[in-house]
Amino acid sequence: MARKLLLEHINVPGINTLDVYRQKGGYRSVEKALKTLSPDDVVEEVKKSGLRGRGGAGFPTGMKWSFLAKPEGVARYLVCNADESEPGTFKDRYLMTHIPHALIEGMIVSSYALGAKTSYIYVRGEMMPQIRILEKAIAEAKNAGFLGKNILGSGYDLELYVQPGGGAYICGEETALLESLEGKRGNPRIKPPFPAIAGLYGCPTVVNNVESIAAVVPIINDGGEEYAKVGIGRSTGTKLISASGNLVRPGVYEIELGLPVEEFIYSDEYCGGIANGKRLKATVAGGSSVPVLPANLTLKLANGDPRLMSYESLSEGGFATGTMMGSGGFIAFDEDQCIVRNTWNFSRFYHHESCGQCSPCREGTGWMEKVLHRIEHGHGKMSDIDLLVDVSKKIEGNTICPLGDAAAWPVASAIRHFRDEFEWHVREPQKSQQTNYGIARYAEPIVSGLKQEN
């Protein structure tokens, strides 16, 4: 069994309550940090751990923390990003539902490290049940003296609040999130200044993902060096992977970074293979924003070596033959799925979620949706395919926030790897309405060792 640092006690009855959570060693990191470590010591341990942000960008958490400005007499804030709206991602909801205290504990230690006296957990509004769960957990923690004034006699004060969003994917982008938390529309801000200098209410602010903050707990308990021993290379620690699509056992899995992708998909410890005895056609390995990969490039690098679940290995080959870790939303497509239809669906999503501030994103996402809609519904022209590539290129890199790129990459990669299928939709408008293209031809040669054993 692989090491579990976040979900070890997930199946313990009552682990959502403070009592059971503490029986399992909960809140040790708060005692350790507040009684024996200075805030800078905590930052140092997080640096040593090599932890990289789990919200999507993978930026080293310790480094981000050390950028926080500390002007005299100005409040500093820690804001937890629990907006989780990236299609294919559902790990944060899972963690908050089952082990809410892991997040609260992480928030206390992280707030202490950053010198924040008030911290917020911004939860997407649809997660009302999780908001209630967190509020209850906060009340329990406060009762036990882990929150409020003079925590554990250390002289450190902290108030922690849960803030609901209003239903908008863009509010996962950290500056849009801050706007939303200030009671405004979720329009991303132009950077710089970065939140570390001017964030919430113009004050220095750190925004971190739920999983990043929960990971601070084992880092402080065991030490940053111990944490860094788990994983592979610069991909240290464990990662929660949300597995969805045509899998035997979709769900949330904690993996040690470096696990072979093939083992993740096919072994019984994880997803148990492709559902209904079908073959794997493609995957989107890190949430809807990252490039789609055909089955052969999912399982193996271009040079034939196995591909691993790590930041480096998933992006090996760049966008020509690789993808990205993203938020760890792993979506599997079986041989019956239509790449054109899914690409259209994702485009519709990004068009719907564009905040509308920049014209390349606002207009480009709408245009891509429209063109993909006509190809999928049998009215496409051959020139539409290059038109899509052209539009995606014009969005990429020309927008205020990365949503533009996130909308462009899935389209560009789908055409890069599955152009045959797009062309077939144009050539066979009737047939493409009745049947699917099936598995991509280059997916055939993969002979999976694990698959044969099973």
Ligand X SMILES: Cc1cc2nc3c(=O)[nH]c(=O)nc-3n(C[C@H](O)[C@H](O)[C@H](O)COP(=O)(O)O)c2cc1C
CB 77 within 8 A of CB 206: yes
Please give the size of the binding site for ligand SF4, defined by CB under 6 A: 14
Question: What, of ligand SF4, ligand X, another protein, none, does residue 387 touch, CB below 5 to 8 Å by kind?
Answer: none
404 binds ligand SF4 (CB under 6 A): yes
Alpha-carbon distance of 283 to 297, in angstroms, equals 9
Residue of 166, 167, 356, 397 interacting with ligand SF4 (CB under 6 A):
356
Instruction: Kindly tell me which of 61 and 432 has the beta carbon lying closer to ligand X.
Output: 61
Alpha-carbon distance of 105 to 64, in angstroms, equals 20
Alpha-carbon distance of 283 to 445, in angstroms, equals 17
174 binds ligand X (CB under 6 A): yes
User: Where in 50-69 is the site for ligand X (CB under 6 A)?
Assistant: 53-57, 59, 61
Instruction: Kindly tell me which of 111 and 246 has the beta carbon lying closer to another protein.
Output: 246
Alpha-carbon distance of 241 to 263, in angstroms, equals 13
Name the β-bridge partners of 161. Answer: 120
Please, what is the minimum distance in Å from the beta carbon of residue 84 to another protein? 5
Please, what is the minimum distance in Å from the beta carbon of residue 433 to another protein? 14
What secondary structure does DSSP assign to 106-142, as a single string? HHHHHHHHHT-SEEEEEE-TT-HHHHHHHHHHHHHHH
Indicate the residue type of 76.
Answer: R
Question: What, of ligand X, ligand SF4, another protein, none, does residue 250 touch, CB below 5 to 8 Å by kind?
Answer: another protein
Please, what is the minimum distance in Å from the beta carbon of residue 293 to ligand X? 21
CB 240 within 8 A of CB 91: yes
Instruction: Kindly tell me which of 28 and 185 has the beta carbon lying closer to another protein.
Output: 185
Dihedrals φ, ψ of 261, to 5°?
-60, -40
Indicate the residue type of 438.
Answer: G
354 binds ligand SF4 (CB under 6 A): yes
Instruction: Kindly tell me which of 170 and 216 has the beta carbon lying closer to ligand SF4.
Output: 170
Closest by CA position to 83, among listed 186, 196, 6 = 186
314 binds ligand SF4 (CB under 6 A): no
Question: What, of ligand X, another protein, ligand SF4, none, does residue 59 touch, CB below 5 to 8 Å by kind?
Answer: ligand X
Please give the size of the binding site for ligand X, defined by CB under 6 A: 24
Half-sphere exposure of 77 (CA within 13 A, CB side): 23
Distances from the Cα of 352 to the Cαs of 35, 88, 179, 268, 349, in angstroms?
A: 48, 17, 19, 37, 5
Instruction: Kindly tell me which of 112 and 120 has the beta carbon lying closer to another protein.
Output: 120
Residue 448 makes CB contacts below 8 A (sequence gap 6+) with: 262, 266, 299
Question: What, of ligand X, another protein, ligand SF4, none, does residue 399 touch, CB below 5 to 8 Å by kind?
Answer: ligand SF4
Closest by CA position to 418, among listed 393, 397, 436 = 436
Place of tokens 């040690």: 256
**Which segments within 94-193 are labelled E, that is strand?**
118-123, 159-164
Question: What, of ligand X, ligand SF4, another protein, none, does residue 180 touch, CB below 5 to 8 Å by kind?
Answer: another protein
Please, what is the minimum distance in Å from the beta carbon of residue 350 to ligand SF4? 8
Please, what is the minimum distance in Å from the beta carbon of residue 62 to ligand X? 11
| Residue closest to ligand SF4 (Cβ) | 361
Please, what is the minimum distance in Å from the beta carbon of residue 210 to another protein? 11
Length of the chain: 454
Q: Are strands 118-123 and 231-232 parallel, antiparallel or unpaired?
A: unpaired
403 binds ligand SF4 (CB under 6 A): yes
CB 172 within 8 A of CB 83: yes
CA 424 from centre of chain: 33
The tokens for 55 are 């919200």
Residues near another protein (CB under 8 A): 75, 84-90, 92-93, 118, 124-129, 159, 161, 163-169, 180-186, 201, 242-246, 250-252, 288, 329, 331, 333-334, 337, 341-342, 345-346, 349, 352-353
**Residue 102 DSSP code:** H
SS3 state at 356? coil
User: From residue 79 to residue 98, what is the string marking binding to ligand X with x (rule CB under 6 A)?
Assistant: --x-xxxx------------
Question: What, of another protein, ligand SF4, ligand X, none, does residue 31 touch, CB below 5 to 8 Å by kind?
Answer: none
User: From residue 185 to residue 204, what is the string marking binding to ligand SF4 with x (rule CB under 6 A)?
Assistant: ---x----------------
Half-sphere exposure of 159 (CA within 13 A, CB side): 5
357 binds ligand SF4 (CB under 6 A): yes
Interface with ligand X by CB under 6 A: which residues?
A: 53-57, 59, 61, 81, 83-86, 170, 172-174, 207-209, 212, 401-403, 406
Interface with ligand SF4 by CB under 6 A: which residues?
A: 170, 188, 354-358, 361-362, 399-401, 403-404
